[in-house]
Chains A and B, each alone.
Chain A
Amino acid sequence: MIDPLEAVLAWCKTQPGIIAHVETRIAARHRYRLAGGGGWPDQARALTIRAVGGAPADVDGGSLPLRLEARAYGASSVEALTVATALISALQSRNGRSVTATSGGKSLLYWLIPESSPALDVDIDTGFDVAIVPLSASVALADVI
């Protein structure tokens, strides 16, 4: 069984335009200031993507539609928006499906698109600048051959 958020994050981790900014700091939840240490350095650019509800469910077709919120962190609003732009640019280069390896097997990502323009904000948890990009995705529930 495919974890759809893992599939989306796994795809982001393969994108050179995104990795150039955030390296390995792509996760579902931020890892700044972890209690035991060893998390992301303060002010380092990073990208988190979490699922927010609201996409119409697919009741017929074996796919999982998702509404997602990507949060691009940076040391300043300019840096945060740079990471968000790198993400949007990678999404614009997509055409059609892609296959990415995940822990549950090979995942088939039907689409991953930005739903609206980015918004700048200040993250409540960390106090860092963050650029928020709403996304829409659809992932096949079954792993593919």
Chain B
Amino acid sequence: MAENEPYNQLTGVYNVYVALPRATPPTLPATPNLSTWHRLGPTDGDHTESYAGALTLFYDDDHDGPVKGIRPQQDLTYTFSIVNMALEQLQRVLSRVHDLTNAGSGTPVTRRAPLKRERVPTEYALLLYQSFGSPYGEYPGYIYVPRGVFDGEPTITRSKSARAALECVFRPLEDDFQTNPRLRFGWRQVQVS
């Protein structure tokens, strides 16, 4: 008998896109609008989503167990590793694409990207899209973060036997433009039927 439950288990990695803060995510089932969203990738290895923010538990004299849990602070981190070393890709993660300049004039065309990162990092919106990313069926789904920055202290390793990769660590920031306070880090949205 055909079931729905096998769809609940998700596999595969995302297609990663960045854009200016508060860029509009796609209206499912449409794919991301490439004039708004810039694809970062291809990626290598796993993508992770980590929640931080331990609860503070309160105890009182009437009980020996905790009576309340409060979360005073929370963080969210997305990591992935891109193997596309085009300067436009590196610049979006390491600083900002506007600092990319054509060095010199005429032929050959050369391009220059600064090594120093910005003191105040450029903010981006992040879209993690998967065309079969819904746990309810053969439908798309995405994670959308309206505002965040690339954190991390990446090490780019060049080797004779492996390709260079840039580890990216994306940190959502509170976006006060979202009217619903629960959505200030963004949301996960999937097609259900």
Q: Which residues of A contact B (CB under 8 A)?
A: 61-63, 94-99, 105-106, 108, 110-111, 138, 140-145
Contacts and interface: CB of A to CB of B under 8 A. Distances in A.
Interface string B1-27: 111111101111101000000000000
B79 interface: no
B53 to A, nearest CB: 28
A96 B3 CA distance: 19
Contacts of B4: 144-145
Interface residues of B, number: 19
Nearest to B11: A110
Interface string B83-98: 0000000000000000
B185 interface: no
B150 interface: no
B12 A111 contact: yes
Interface in B14-46: 15
Interface stretch (B54-62, B68-76, B111-119, B130-138): B130-138
Contacts of A98: 132
Contacts, number: 55
A95 B2 CA distance: 24
A11 to B, nearest CB: 13
B12 A61 contact: no
Given A110-B11, A111-B11, A111-B12, A96 B133 contact: yes
B11 A106 contact: no
A98 to B, nearest CB: 7
Contact of A142 (B3, B12, B137): B3
A61 B10 CA distance: 12
Given A144-B7, A145-B137, A96 B12 contact: yes
B12 A95 contact: yes
B80 to A, nearest CB: 13
Contacts of A141: 6
Contact of A144 (B2, B13, B131): B2
A97 B5 CA distance: 14
